[in-house]
Amino acid sequence: GILQHPDGTVLKQLQPPPRGPREQEFYNKVYDSDCCDSILLELREYLPKYFGVWSPPTAPNDMYLKLEDVTRKFNKPCIMDVKIGQKSYDPYASTEKIQQQVSKYPLMEEIGFLVLGMRVYHVSSDSYETQNQHYGRSLTKETVKDGISKFFHSGYCLRKDVVAASIQKVEKILEWFEGQTQLNFYASSLLFVYEGSCQATAVRLSDVTLAEKRRVPKGLLSGGDVLEYNNNIHVINSTENGKIEASVSKGLSKFYALHKKACSKRHHSQLSLKVENSEQDNVWKSSTCITQEHLNGNVLPQLEKVFYHMPTETKESANVEVRMIDFAHVFPSNTKDEGYIYGLKNLITVLQNILDN
């Protein structure tokens, strides 16, 4: 398995020959301080950073690759490992090895990728859901879209911001593959990581154009208001009287419930509602103050436009990493890696379908 070094890097034990030395040689080539190959220099952007090999003082013969911990900056990292390519065996594999790999996932050649596992943080239960490679192998052409969409679901809603950012990053890797004929990758993976916790990303709405794109009604948001949107925290704050002030911790469903209750009590000039949820150790509290002038049915549709139809300018704000990993089967080539390209294109298609639907 992967070990963690006290300095914040991770340690991957070198596999037995020829796989281990081949992976070490790959990293050494890409991260050579004298490297001036533009193809390899760009490739570094899509790999974990490499810090050489390491051995514990008590076992100097045990060799480890010392690599960047891609998950380190995340509070609640959601992680998915997807093997890419039409073949999970290299050109030098034995007949027995080929049969073994094909029998594990017969659709690899047709689909071009395989989900090896995922770990998803659910805000609703403050817990992780884990799926292993058996889950990935159980997916068919018909179920692979729903199977992968599980990775992007927070327990409340589909994280479309993360899906969009993931597509952009996979497309960049595809561009690199389309432009290189040096290397072919077999049994290599993409590691997807995104932030699953409720750390809100604030987006200033002082830009009138941005506000107009969200179609926010006049008077709802002033130039100094802040819209926070990330991982089901949706907050509109306003200091002026007569405005909406909503703090919704668990998605818009709570707000709908509050709004419904408020509409039945329109005779009040102002209504304050408090909802407490003690599902977690730290009690979530959300309050909503709605003045009568905004209880006309127009607010919620506008809020939906704000929360669920985010403009493209904010899609890249999602905290997402997509890195290539596992290089024990990388070989020199003089042709494009068509198998890897095929897998990337199919994966992008599935991600785009998840986003569109």
User: Is the pLDDT confidence value at 64 over 90?
Assistant: yes
Which pLDDT score, from 0 to 100, does residue 199 have? 57
Q: Quick one: how far is CA 174 from the chain centroid?
A: 17
Q: Which residues pair with 12 in a beta bridge?
A: 2, 65
Say how far apart CA 172 and CA 289 lie, in whole Å. Answer: 45
User: Is the pLDDT confidence value at 285 over 80?
Assistant: no
User: Is the pLDDT confidence value at 176 over 80?
Assistant: yes
Say how far apart CA 53 and CA 11 lie, in whole Å. Answer: 9
pLDDT band for position 268 (cuts 50, 70, 90): very low
Residue 83 dihedral angles phi and psi, to the nearest 5°: -75, 135
- pLDDT tens, 136-173? 999 999 999 999 999 999 999 999 999 999 999 999 99
Which pLDDT score, from 0 to 100, does residue 101 have? 94
Tokens 């949820």 belong to residue:
277
Which pLDDT score, from 0 to 100, does residue 355 have? 97
Span 305-332, average pLDDT: 71
Pick the range with the lowest mean pLDDT from 48-57, 190-199, 228-237: 228-237
Which pLDDT score, from 0 to 100, does residue 198 have? 74
The single-letter code of the amino acid at 325 is: I
User: Is the pLDDT confidence value at 352 over 80?
Assistant: yes
Sheet holding 127-131, edge to edge: 127-131, 113-122, 77-84, 188-195, 320-325
Higher pLDDT residue, 259 or 332? 332
Contacts of 312 (CB under 8 A, 6+ apart): none
User: Is the pLDDT confidence value at 116 over 80?
Assistant: yes
The single-letter code of the amino acid at 45 is: E
Nearest 5°: the CA angle 203, 303, 253 is 110
Q: Please state the pTM of the whole predicted model.
A: 0.70
Residues 225/238, Cβ–Cβ less than 8 Å: yes
Which pLDDT score, from 0 to 100, does residue 317 have? 57
Burial of 170 (0-12, 13-18, 19+ CB in 10 A): buried
Say how far apart CA 330 and CA 185 lie, in whole Å. Answer: 5
The single-letter code of the amino acid at 228 is: E
CA dihedral sign, ordered 177, 116, 46, 314: positive
Mean pLDDT rounded to a whole number for the chain: 77
Q: What percent of the chain has pLDDT over 90?
A: 65
User: Is the pLDDT confidence value at 320 over 70?
Assistant: yes
Higher pLDDT residue, 256 or 347? 347
pLDDT band for position 318 (cuts 50, 70, 90): confident
Pick the range with the lowest mean pLDDT from 144-153, 311-320, 322-331: 311-320
Span 335-345, average pLDDT: 98
70-198+317-356, which class in CATH?
alpha beta
**Token pair of 198 as six digits:** 């409720």
Q: Quick one: how far is CA 151 from the chain centroid?
A: 8
pLDDT band for position 310 (cuts 50, 70, 90): very low
Residue 125 dihedral angles phi and psi, to the nearest 5°: -110, 0
Span 182-211, average pLDDT: 71
**Token pair of 204 as six digits:** 């200033």
- Which of 124, 144, 126 lies closest to 135, judged by CA? 144
Pick the range with the lowest mean pLDDT from 57-71, 133-147, 231-245: 231-245
Domain with CATH 3.30.470.160 in the chain: 70-198+317-356
Using DSSP bridges, classify how beta strands 77-84 and 226-230 pair: parallel, antiparallel or unpaired: unpaired
